[in-house]
Structure 1
Amino acid sequence: MRATEILLIGPAGKQTGGIARYIHEQRRRLGDGARVYDVAVPDSETPLQFLRAALLALAQLVQFPFRRPPDVVHVHTSHWYSFFQSSAYILYAASVWRVPVVLHVHGSSFDTFVDTESRLLGAFQSFVFARCTTVVVLSDYWSDVVADRVDPAKLFVLPNAVDPTDYDPRYGASPPHVVFVSNHIERKGVAEFVAAVDDLLEAGARMQVTIAGSGPLSHLAEELAARRAAVTYEGYVSETRKRELLNEGSVFVLPTHAENLPIALLEAMAGGNALVSTTVGAIPSLVDDDNGVLVAPGDEVALRGALSSLLADPTRIESMARTSRARAEREYSWRTAVDSLEGLYAELAH
């Protein structure tokens, strides 16, 4: 019997971002039956850059009908521009190719995107969702978010995934090793993290801190590392170096203001870290009292208190870190995700 042929559509060519990483791993693990159609466009800050990105997106769309129709189309989307771009491929695949379409919802602000007061936008969202055979969401929280736009029978909950075998946790660092790896933008909470670490070190806290990543707020990390011997700023790091940092880490901190179900936290769990994050999106489905601490987004005082309580109890840190690792192996492995995807594809294609 011929293997089911899957066409994955999304911004696979992006250098950073959870969707691109997910598509890469999904393609690799599904094997020869999966193909990728890359719809990534450069980020744009000026009118000229926007025009170039728009022309590239148009060229991608014009070329798309000349591809061989697959058995199933799997579209990865986020909010706003990503959703509008994805809708063209969804409508073509469903109406012209007449093949099953899986829409996979990512995006830190997809909840605010669907919670719109615009009747026109809401109607368009419902129209696009109606053309999908299945809508994949990352948690029960996100299932509730899209419930007003999607037939519940179409919803399929599938968390993000990580391969725990790519990580080799090293527990018991002394002093505890606190790690931050993310884009240095306001939404990721880097400013609150830097302020909390600075205050804790001023108060005499014992810890080693490594900050990685880059962005418009990187000067905060650079300045902190310049005045605090316990802090190292590494800038943008490779995937290999990122895994090393997570293996070496004791506590991974992601004080994000908005998120879906971040792959960064799953990677930190696989690397054996206690987690400090926020109560946004589906993060509470990953983090509880057994493997970390959650605080309100933007609350630097609460973040400082969470870190202080953990640093005072290394035994608690290690217990949480081992729980994170076990949970990643049990609930969020790529093996489990691929089994679910292959079962879904088989059901849709036959």
Structure 2
Amino acid sequence: MAATVDIDRMLRLRILHVMRAPVGGLFRHVLDLAGEQARRGHSVGIIADSTSADALTVKRLSKIAPKLRLGLSLIPMSRQPGLGDLAALRSVVRIARTLEPDVLHGHGAKGGAYARLGKVWLAAHGVRVAAFYTPHGGSLHYRPGTAAGVAFMLLERAMGLATDGVIFESDFARAAYARLAGVSGPTRRVIPNGLADADFVARPARTDAADFLFIGELRHLKGVDVLLAAIARLSQTEPVRAIIVGSGPDAQAFKAEARRLGLDEIVTFPGAMPIHDALPLGRCLVVPSRAESFPYVVLEAGAAGKPLIATRVGGIPEIVAGTPMDLIPAGSVDALADAMQAVLADPVAADVRAITLRAAVQAKFTVPAMTDAVLDFYRSSVPRRASRAAVSHVGGPLVEREASSSHVQQ
């Protein structure tokens, strides 16, 4: 029997991802998604901010750049709203007109605005493109009825007219968006973040590892102050050590708080480093966040089989669902200290819970599954272009027939 060819499924797309700050979980998500899309033969490009990259960011961008047929474009993007946004939007539109993408996928508030307003601008010049938006937390933490919440609602309802689809990392994010922007508007799908095969490698603690480990941005929202208070309480009765990995706007304040609590000898701040290097530095990862969306650090700790203590916020309950992992209330020093004490008292039980979580993460959260779902969503809205539907043969990878391009614009 002759094989049946599904032309739509085999359509090769031109995809341009737009984000502002190339740091954190948003950056990890874009690199994973863009890399897998490129591996499958799609022509992919990334537009990102040129002013906020650190040494680790530059290394990661340099690694993915050769895979991007539509190139890596770095342009100035301001964190706060202002006149600079118009210049950034014009740059996005200029790049898009040159590269002729089928999809503009904006990530985060700024990336989402540039992608969707870019679609409107391009349409005014007769260029059709589908625009997708992934909020990635941040603005989803606004409270309905506040000035920021109302502004977000008005902007999303306006830009919803130019949005072909909104992608959420979790049910929590979808519900938060609905509270702010309402339930009507563009089509919405929950597509959880995924991990690559390299993430599912055990990262055992070193022989000199600290008892507890924090990895993340050093800011109030992440609850590092709660962790320090819990360590101070434990240290009164237990020999305990902790290491706090990361950088951020509140780093100096947290270091000062550690000194004030007399923790200089038992808490260290080594700065930011790749998570695979950081995980062996502690025996149990602590995620004391006051708020989250769908944190990669929890997924990565689970994939590595690292014992975990985390708060019941954002999408974390969706990650640990179906496992014996108990979550604690955010902001509670008592609850965190009790959970840490339990790990010290019975590390074997903590290891067993970690093994169960690893199996759950491996079954549900992978880059291939995430990419499948995102591409399927794209194809539901991408304008049909006969020139893009080039099929070489059945049973093997397709060959992109259009000329490849690579460039870095700064």
> 2:89 aligned to 43, 56, 61, which one?
61
For 1:235, the aligned partner's letter is G
Aligned-residue offset at 1:54: 4.8
For 1:106, the aligned partner's letter is H
Distance in 2, matches of 1:290 and 1:171, equals 21
Aligned-residue offset at 1:121: 5.0
Deviates more, 1:255-264 or 1:270-279: 270-279
> 1:135 aligned to 166, 171, 175, which one?
166
Give the SS at the match of 2:99.
coil
- Structure 1 contact 275–293 (Cα < 8 Å) conserved: no
Matches within 5 A, 1:208-247: 208-219=241-252, 220-221=254-255, 224=258, 227=263, 229-237=265-273, 239=274, 242-247=275-280
Q: Which residue number in structure 2 is paired with residue 71 of structure 1?
A: 102
Aligned-residue offset at 1:211: 1.6
Structure 2 gap ranges (5+)? 1-9, 53-76, 385-410
Distance in 1, matches of 2:213 and 2:276, equals 11
Distance in 2, matches of 1:274 and 1:191, equals 21
Aligned-residue offset at 1:221: 4.5
The TM-score with structure 1 as length reference comes to: 0.82
Q: Which residue number in structure 2 is paired with residue 201 of structure 1?
A: 235
Q: Which residue number in structure 2 is paired with residue 329 of structure 1?
A: 362
Aligned-residue offset at 1:257: 1.4
Structure 1 gap ranges (5+)? 44-48
For 1:68, the aligned partner's letter is L
The TM-score with structure 2 as length reference comes to: 0.71
Matches within 5 A, 1:212-291: 212-219=245-252, 220-221=254-255, 224=258, 227=263, 229-237=265-273, 239=274, 242-247=275-280, 249-287=282-320, 290=323
Q: Which residue number in structure 1 is paired with residue 42 of structure 2?
A: 33
String of CA shifts for 1:323-348, please: whole Å, max 9, x gaps: 22212211111121112222223333
- Structure 2 contact 205–282 (Cα < 8 Å) conserved: no
Task: Give the direction of change, closer, same or farther, for the CA distance of 1:326–1:173 in structure 2 (3 Å limit).
Answer: farther
Q: Which residue number in structure 2 is paired with residue 6 of structure 1?
A: 15
Matches within 5 A, 1:139-218: 139-147=170-178, 149-151=182-184, 154-170=187-203, 177-205=211-239, 207-218=240-251
Aligned-residue offset at 1:288: 5.1
Task: Give the direction of change, closer, same or farther, for the CA distance of 1:197–1:287 in structure 2 (3 Å limit).
Answer: farther
Distance in 1, matches of 2:290 and 2:198, equals 30
Matches within 5 A, 1:59-138: 59-66=87-94, 67-78=98-109, 84-85=113-114, 87-92=116-121, 97-112=127-142, 116=146, 121-138=152-169
Aligned-residue offset at 1:50: 6.6
Give the SS at the match of 2:49.
coil
String of CA shifts for 1:198-242, please: whole Å, max 9, x gaps: 22122115x5532211234434358749846554431122x2xx2
Deviates more, 1:296-305 or 1:207-216: 207-216
For 1:323, the aligned partner's letter is T
| Larger RCO of the pair (alpha carbons < 8 Å, separation 6+) | 2
Task: Give the direction of change, closer, same or farther, for the CA distance of 1:172–1:125 in structure 2 (3 Å limit).
Answer: closer
For 2:219, the aligned partner's letter is I
For 1:30, the aligned partner's letter is Q
Report the aligned-residue RMSD.
3.3
Distance in 1, matches of 2:80 and 2:164, equals 33
Deviates more, 1:179-188 or 1:153-162: 153-162
Distance in 2, matches of 1:24 and 1:51, equals 20
Task: Give the direction of change, closer, same or farther, for the CA distance of 1:28–1:280 in structure 2 (3 Å limit).
Answer: same
Aligned-residue offset at 1:138: 1.3
The structure carrying a bigger helix percent of its residues is 1
Task: Give the direction of change, closer, same or farther, for the CA distance of 1:122–1:230 in structure 2 (3 Å limit).
Answer: closer
Q: Which residue number in structure 1 is paired with residue 390 of structure 2?
A: none
Distance in 2, matches of 1:98 and 1:150, equals 26
Larger Rg: 2
Aligned-residue offset at 1:131: 2.1
Q: Which residue number in structure 1 is paired with residue 346 of structure 2?
A: 313
For 1:23, the aligned partner's letter is V
Give the SS at the match of 2:142.
helix
- Identity, in percent, stands at 24
Task: Give the direction of change, closer, same or farther, for the CA distance of 1:94–1:179 in structure 2 (3 Å limit).
Answer: farther
Distance in 2, matches of 1:86 and 1:8, equals 8
Aligned-residue offset at 1:189: 0.6
- Structure 2 contact 218–250 (Cα < 8 Å) conserved: yes
